[in-house]
A and B are shown apart, each in its own frame.
Chain A
């Protein structure tokens, strides 16, 4: 165990743990947009930056990635930190003026939109937090979506924006999306996501549609559980 200080509080932690995790365990709130407990950190939203002092060196670091070490002194709300967070939120508000989640977050932090940033008009709510892409790759394991282009043109899509043959229609991407950008429509026996329509399966017990056939087939293949055993919805199991 090592000793560090976060916001003037002396804290014990395991060496190598990320500052963000240690802070959260101790009830210290650091805002994030791209962090998820089930996913490896990526450090792309930059909301979680904190000021870290190690020895004589003070710098702004990404708390989701920065490992704690003996003697580390962390300030999660310094002026420099708040300046970065304000800017990040203002930039995202201008990118996604329609996002309710961002508006709420900005209101909570007392951040107003920067009038000099003309809001984008493309109705995109994606903040490129990468949670969908990481979930699809690391948790679902199909990598049906990824990034295309770079910089300001960067966007999440299926390869070549064509119907993905590897997508199983599980909807995990839409589930983790913090801003509701990914559109998924489930109506009775079909589900449409990423431009493809999946056939839904009915539960053997209650008879309700509960999962895409492709998803069940994928689970069966991956786990070795016979498809028949997967034909019952969670509520009836």
Chain B
């Protein structure tokens, strides 16, 4: 247990001592234990490394670290061996002994664990040379691989809490706020409101106590950047919050985190306990006389609770329902007191702004969107994972250079940004420079940074139906347009995908959308029509094909498609007849097969199994 650190100078000497105790040349095996890698079974690999090190009497002689998410989730389990940063991916759960014997002890590279660049076929040894990492700017997320999230020593050894020390001892609260304003940090949770201005309003608001809140109620399907940051580097988020609390004049903070994120809850709990023990949280932080503490509240699984006023209601113990925000939360938020709510990633940016200065920070990004943004890149993409790039990076770079393009050479169709209530962006906008304003201009939004890639096999009407259906089940039900309107839109979309669409449906969907956008009470409702509006805007022809021709061009909507065999391609290999669960696909060996539409359930098993691409879906 660490004794209380009583001043900035003492903090510096603790950091120095920890740093000096670490030989940068000493080998260190780092295993990613982010949720993605854990899902591969990485815990077994971790246990095995510990055992194998002990067996060879190497415990302590070779450092071993479990770290938070590195972002390249597609290639887990991942092992990085320092100091050379040798990068092993898709590591087998029984590979620990071999890695120790060959790579750590003898310096040999294990060929089969290296990443192969699909573009060049070249095997890549070092992490920094992997295109996925090389083309990113990992400002906030980069520390994840350098620290064990459960070790405050690790965080201190890389200079952690220096920004807090600097803020508390050398800066006035107003100066900190001015620095954040100058950096033009905009809220990473979705709205993109300038964080500094929000801080300033909360500081100047009348009423005590003032609260600050970290919004970790990330609920977008497929998005997990806040999760990975909180799991992988909880002290960074905590440091940002303490600085913010000091600037705003708050003595009580809350972290509102999804209960579905058990590792994040656990790691932030540990980090808070460690910070309290070290005098970085609680009374008289770093001997400055400033008092601040944090409580954790676990969300009950409602998407709407990511909306600030619903989050306050939930924190207060009431049902998570939004209210009109004509009086800002900075004046009347939690318990009707001045409240400053920022998202996990926003708080995570603060220590860098304070440490390196607003000018440096503002040099990254575009004119009105500064810094970097972490995106969760998922869907039909080769390199599924978390990527951090400067604001203003093009979608093309994110999808094709970092993301590695679309699997199996299929054609890119759209990218959905901004979560369920964001929009689908077509190919013609791939050169868009991604920032808050550019995304809004073309009918989507930044949201918290989810990016779902779709290819030619995705039906955009079906995509709109999927997201709308998600929002139907996540509407809180308080106001009429959202509760009743979204479900009617969903019903119409279901009709269209099942062949019951009517000619006037597209126009009607647009009309309902306008009514919901104007009429709904909160941002969830206001933005709920976006998936429908953006798919109509960019993929109207697909709606028309479904409605007028009763045809699904992408071959997705079951009621509108038929499976048949292309006689020119079929070799009569019989594989389709073997995988077909209903006996619809049949034929004699070495003769062209056929599919009986009366028996076919359109499950797609034949198409997936055919090596000759002879199954036609129309």
Chain A residues in the interface with B (C-beta under 8 A): 42-46, 49, 60-62, 65-67, 80, 83-84, 86-88, 91-92, 94-95, 114, 116-118, 127-128, 147, 149-154
B7-15, B109-117, B318-326 - the one binding chain A: B318-326
Q: B475 is contacted by which of A44, A49, A88, A152 (Cβ under 8 Å)?
A: A152
Interface extent on B, as a size class?
Answer: 35 or more
Number of A-B contacts (CB under 8 A): 103
- Do residues A44 and B478 form an inter-chain contact, with CB atoms below 8 A? yes
- Do residues B477 and A83 form an inter-chain contact, with CB atoms below 8 A? no
- For the complex, what is the distance from the CA of A80 to the CA of B519, rounded to whole Å? 9
- Do residues B519 and A88 form an inter-chain contact, with CB atoms below 8 A? yes
- For the complex, what is the distance from the CA of A150 to the CA of B492, rounded to whole Å? 22
- Do residues A84 and B481 form an inter-chain contact, with CB atoms below 8 A? yes
Instruction: Return chain A residues, CB-CB under 8 Å to B304.
Output: 150
Q: B324 is contacted by which of A65, A92, A117, A127 (Cβ under 8 Å)?
A: A65
Q: B477 is contacted by which of A60, A114, A153 (Cβ under 8 Å)?
A: A153
- Do residues A116 and B479 form an inter-chain contact, with CB atoms below 8 A? no
Instruction: Return A137 CB to nearest CB of chain B, in Å.
Output: 11
Beta-carbon contacts of B351-387 to A below 8 Å, as 1s and 0s? 0000000000000000000000000000000000000
Chain B residues in the interface with A (C-beta under 8 A): 302, 304, 319, 323-324, 326-327, 472-481, 483-485, 487-488, 491-492, 502, 504-505, 508, 511-512, 514-516, 518-521
Closest to A128 in B: B477
- Do residues A116 and B519 form an inter-chain contact, with CB atoms below 8 A? no
Instruction: Return chain A residues, CB-CB under 8 Å to B520.
Output: 46
- Do residues A91 and B508 form an inter-chain contact, with CB atoms below 8 A? no
- Do residues A43 and B521 form an inter-chain contact, with CB atoms below 8 A? yes
Closest to B484 in A: A91
- Do residues A151 and B472 form an inter-chain contact, with CB atoms below 8 A? yes
Q: A154 is contacted by which of B323, B483, B485 (Cβ under 8 Å)?
A: B483
Instruction: Return chain B residues, CB-CB under 8 Å to A66.
Output: 324, 326
Instruction: Return chain B residues, CB-CB under 8 Å to A44.
Output: 478-480, 521
- Do residues A151 and B515 form an inter-chain contact, with CB atoms below 8 A? no
- Do residues B483 and A83 form an inter-chain contact, with CB atoms below 8 A? no
- Do residues A86 and B488 form an inter-chain contact, with CB atoms below 8 A? no
- Do residues B484 and A95 form an inter-chain contact, with CB atoms below 8 A? yes
6 interchain residue pairs of minimum CB distance: A87-B515, A154-B477, A84-B519, A91-B484, A151-B475, A60-B518
- For the complex, what is the distance from the CA of A66 to the CA of B488, rounded to whole Å? 28
Instruction: Return chain A residues, CB-CB under 8 Å to B484.
Output: 91-92, 94-95, 152
- Do residues A43 and B323 form an inter-chain contact, with CB atoms below 8 A? yes
Q: A151 is contacted by which of B326, B477, B502, B514 (Cβ under 8 Å)?
A: B477
- For the complex, what is the distance from the CA of A46 to the CA of B520, rounded to whole Å? 7
Instruction: Return B32 CB to nearest CB of chain A, in Å.
Output: 36
Q: B480 is contacted by which of A60, A67, A88, A151 (Cβ under 8 Å)?
A: A88
In the complex, which of the residues A46, A60, A61, A66 has the most CB atoms of chain B within 10 Å of its own CB atom? A46
Could you give 19 example pairs across A and B, Cβ below 8 Å?
Answer: A42-B478, A45-B480, A49-B518, A61-B324, A65-B326, A66-B326, A67-B327, A86-B515, A88-B515, A91-B488, A116-B502, A118-B491, A128-B477, A128-B478, A147-B319, A150-B475, A151-B475, A152-B483, A152-B487
- Do residues A152 and B302 form an inter-chain contact, with CB atoms below 8 A? no
- For the complex, what is the distance from the CA of A60 to the CA of B514, rounded to whole Å? 12
- Do residues A83 and B518 form an inter-chain contact, with CB atoms below 8 A? yes
Instruction: Return chain B residues, CB-CB under 8 Å to A150.
Output: 302, 304, 319, 475-477
Q: Using known A-B contacts A46-B519, A83-B514, A151-B472, determine if residue A88 contacts B481 with beta carbons closer than 8 Å.
A: yes
Instruction: Return chain A residues, CB-CB under 8 Å to B516.
Output: 87
- Do residues A67 and B326 form an inter-chain contact, with CB atoms below 8 A? yes
- Do residues B492 and A116 form an inter-chain contact, with CB atoms below 8 A? yes
- Do residues A127 and B326 form an inter-chain contact, with CB atoms below 8 A? no
Instruction: Return chain B residues, CB-CB under 8 Å to A62.
Output: 324, 521
Closest to B473 in A: A151
Instruction: Return B114 CB to nearest CB of chain A, in Å.
Output: 49
- Do residues A152 and B326 form an inter-chain contact, with CB atoms below 8 A? no
- For the complex, what is the distance from the CA of A84 to the CA of B513, rounded to whole Å? 10
- For the complex, what is the distance from the CA of A95 to the CA of B480, rounded to whole Å? 10
Instruction: Return chain B residues, CB-CB under 8 Å to A80.
Output: 514, 518
Q: B488 is contacted by which of A43, A67, A117 (Cβ under 8 Å)?
A: A117
- For the complex, what is the distance from the CA of A90 to the CA of B521, rounded to whole Å? 18
- Do residues B521 and A46 form an inter-chain contact, with CB atoms below 8 A? yes
- Do residues B479 and A84 form an inter-chain contact, with CB atoms below 8 A? no
Instruction: Return A15 CB to nearest CB of chain B, in Å.
Output: 13
Instruction: Return chain B residues, CB-CB under 8 Å to A117.
Output: 488
- Do residues A61 and B326 form an inter-chain contact, with CB atoms below 8 A? yes
Closest to A52 in B: B326
